[in-house]
Amino acid sequence: MSVAPWFETSGALAGAPGARALAVSSEAWREAAQAFASAGGRLLALWAGERSGVELCLYAAFVASPGVLVLEMPAVDQYPGIQDLFPAASRMQRAVADHYGIYSTDPDRRPWLAHPRGPGYAFVRVEGDGVHEIPVGPVHAGIIEPGHFRFSVVGEKVLRLEERLGYTHKGIERRFTELAVSQGQRLAARVSGDTAVGFSWAYAQALEGLARVEVPARAAYLRALCLEIERLQNHLGDLGALGNDAGFAFGLAQFSRLKEHLLRATETAFGQRYLLDAIVPGGVANDLPAAGATALSACADMIEAQVALLRDIYDEHSGLRGRFVGAGVVAPELAARLGLTGLAGRASGQDHDLRADLPCAPYRELAPKKCGGIAGDVAARVAIRFDETFESCRLMRRILADLPLGPHRMTVPQPPAHELGLGLIEAWRGPVLVALVAGPEGAIARCHPHDPSWQNWPVLEHAIIDNIVPDFPLINKSFNLSYSGHDL
């Protein structure tokens, strides 16, 4: 089934390259989703919100080879569910029900973000001789956010894992509506702190699309530089943590050292160790001084050389290989069926990267190389991080060498009210989406940020099956999903 007819009848959507929008009936909602599923398309996000401050609508964003299509359907008491076509839609539909009281026809109606007092959450029970449950969380050791994991096991072998998230529901989407559109990027950057650049850039992209402006070339290059720095920061931190989870403290020490060098170079370049406020509407907050460019270039060279040595150590260390290889496998067929995305998806044969597939400026000129694998285990997800570390170092040097002259920021006029804009950026974890509707007098009427963890948390439940309970922290870290970005 082709998706071409759906794109042919759609209209251009402000913001992300290749984005289109189409208003549909409830019958066409299901029909379009079926066309995307048959064509190998992916569900990016599903959410609800009001247009023109009156009519409640349901939205779904899909991506396929022609581009991105956002379906808009007037809300009805019960709409056709699509979890059989896109399993990741289940929790998104349940979140919509919690927020707005509208339900899909799919059978799972358990609350997802709502945590009412009273009887506990109805976890799915596994019956059989010797089966017992191990509850973990929602409060964990360390500083991670809350999440409940219910393991059904025989001995130490995991038969089933079911997650329960949404414990700190922070009201982020409501808080957006109390801000001016010119300030929303600051909140977007804090949706999930490890993806500050990804979310703030997606927000700015949506706003700039609505305002019909294109940022200066220098600003676009500096945004890409910030995005690759953020990718590199996270990969270095994860590679160290994964070594530590496998009992190799040397790896944690070395990658922590390299990450600290990068943080210091980032502070020299942009005045911040973590780039929470680097992206602003119209460009970037601060231009790159010569000393900052020198520091980042030298840091990229040093990191690339030392990570190459550390990769040899990781590859040759029998203890690490014994823990990484074959643990937490997600086969390519399962990854495609469940919609696994981002770096975890690329480790399981899902060759998708928006920087190459639907590039925004300046990635068309930078031509990033896709990194991928098919083994789908912890070792494959570690390998993707190594490969992307080298590629980010290369991109940083290319950006610094080709950085255009000119302004780093421009003024963004007030966008028209009640029009939908879409921001879509391939952040370090995967595609980050921001759907923005401006209100009158420069207010925000609706802003929905979507983290790829919505797609990937359910896949983690499958990755742990037939593994032993003590391997869960390692497998979990190899995905490194966001609690905060999932709990708005």
Average pLDDT score over residue span 142-159: 92
Residue 367 and residue 470 in one domain? yes
Distance separating alpha carbons of residues 422 and 73, to the nearest angstrom = 17
Query: What's residue 54's pLDDT?
Result: 67
Q: Of 61, 78, 104, at which residue does a domain stop?
A: 104
Both 55 and 177 in one domain: the answer is no
* Residue 284, token pair as written in the block: 């970037």
349/213 same-domain check: yes
Asked if residues 209 and 14 have their Cβ atoms less than 8 Å apart, the reply is yes
- Print the SS3 string covering 351-402: CCCHHHHCCCCCHHHHCCCCCCCCCCCHHHHHHHHHHHHHHHHHHHHHHHHH
pLDDT for the residue numbered 53: 63
**Is the distance from CB of 394 to CB of 228 less than 8 angstroms?**
no
Kindly report the CATH number assigned to the domain that includes residue 28: 3.30.460.80
**Residue 135 falls within a domain, yes or no?**
no
Average pLDDT (425-449) is 96
Question: Radius of gyration over alpha carbons of the chain, in Å?
Answer: 22
Would you say residue 311 has pLDDT above 80? yes
Q: Per the domain annotation, does 309 fall within a domain?
A: yes
Indicate whether 457 belongs to any domain: yes
pLDDT in tens, 252-286: 999 999 999 999 999 999 999 999 999 999 999 99
| Residue 198 pLDDT grade (very low, low, confident, very high; cuts 50, 70, 90) | very high
Give residue 143's pLDDT band: very low, low, confident or very high (50, 70, 90): confident
pLDDT reported for residue 267: 98
Is the domain of 76 the same as that of 207? no
In a domain, 446, yes or no: yes
Residue 151 lies in a domain: no
Query: Measuring CA to CA, which residue among 475, 260, 261, 462 is closest to residue 382?
Result: 475
Q: Same domain, yes or no, for 97 and 178?
A: no
- The percentage of the chain sitting over the pLDDT mark of 70, rounded to a whole number, equals 99
Report the pLDDT averaged over residues 447-464.
98
Overall average pLDDT of the 347-369 stretch: 97
| CATH number of the domain bearing residue 228 | 1.10.645.10
Counting the structural domains of the chain, the total is 2
Instruction: Dump pLDDT digits (tens) for 9-42.
Output: 999 999 999 999 999 999 899 999 999 999 999 9
pLDDT classification of 368: cutoffs 50, 70, 90: very high
Nearest to 23 by CA among 420, 460, 413: 420
365 has pLDDT over 90: yes
Res. 1: pLDDT tops 80: no
pLDDT at 2 over 80: yes
- pLDDT score at 142: 78
- What is the SS3 assignment for the chain? CCCHHHHHCCEECEECCCEEEEECCHHHHHHHHHHHHHCCCEEEEEEEEEECCCEEEEEEEEEECCEEEEEEEECCCEECCCCCCCCCHHHHHHHHHHHHCCEECCCCCCCCCCCCCCCCCCCCCCCCCCEEEEEECCCCCCCCCCCEEEEEEECCEEEEEEEECCCCCCCHHHHHCCCECCCHHHHHCCCCHHHHHHHHHHHHHHHHHHCCCCCCHHHHHHHHHHHHHHHHHHHHHHHHHHHHHCCCHHHHHHHHHHHHHHHHHHHHHHCCCCCCCCEECCEECCCCCHHHHHHHHHHHHHHHHHHHHHHHHHHHCHHHHHHHCCCCCCCHHHHHHHCCCHHHHHCCCCCCCHHHHCCCCCHHHHCCCCCCCCCCCHHHHHHHHHHHHHHHHHHHHHHHHHCCCCCCECCCCCCCCCCEEEEEEECCCCEEEEEEEECHHHEEEEEEEECCHHHHHHHHHHHCCCCEHHHHHHHHHHHCCCCHHHCC
Same domain flag for 87 and 202:
no
Quick one: what percent of the chain has pLDDT higher than 90?
Answer: 91
Task: Give per-residue burial for 61-74: e unless 16+ CB within 10 Å, then b.
Answer: bbbbebbbbbbbbe
Containing domain of residue 67, as a range? 4-104
**Do 433 and 320 share a structural domain?**
yes
Residue 52 pLDDT greater than 70, yes or no: no
Q: What is the 3-state secondary structure (H, E, C) of 229-251?
A: HHHHHHHHHHHHHHHHHCCCHHH
The answer to whether residue 129 is domain-embedded is no
**pLDDT for 141:** 80
Q: Is the pLDDT of residue 119 over 80?
A: no
| Residue 159 maps to a domain | no
| Greater pLDDT, 207 or 112 | 207
End-of-domain residue from the set 104, 121, 140: 104
| Model pLDDT, residue 124 | 92
In a domain, 333, yes or no: yes
Check residue 481 and give its pLDDT.
97
Lowest mean pLDDT among 242-246, 297-301, 439-443: 439-443
pLDDT of residue 159 exceeding 70 = yes
When pLDDT is averaged across residues 215-227 and rounded to a whole number, the result is 98
Pairing mode, strands 42-51 and 55-64: antiparallel
pLDDT in tens, 377-386: 999 999 999 9
Residue 98 sits in the same domain as residue 177? no
The arithmetic mean of pLDDT across residues 434-444, rounded, is: 95
* pLDDT of 304 over the 90 cut: yes
**Span 151-175, mean pLDDT?**
93
How many Å apart are CA 236 and CA 259, to the nearest integer?
6
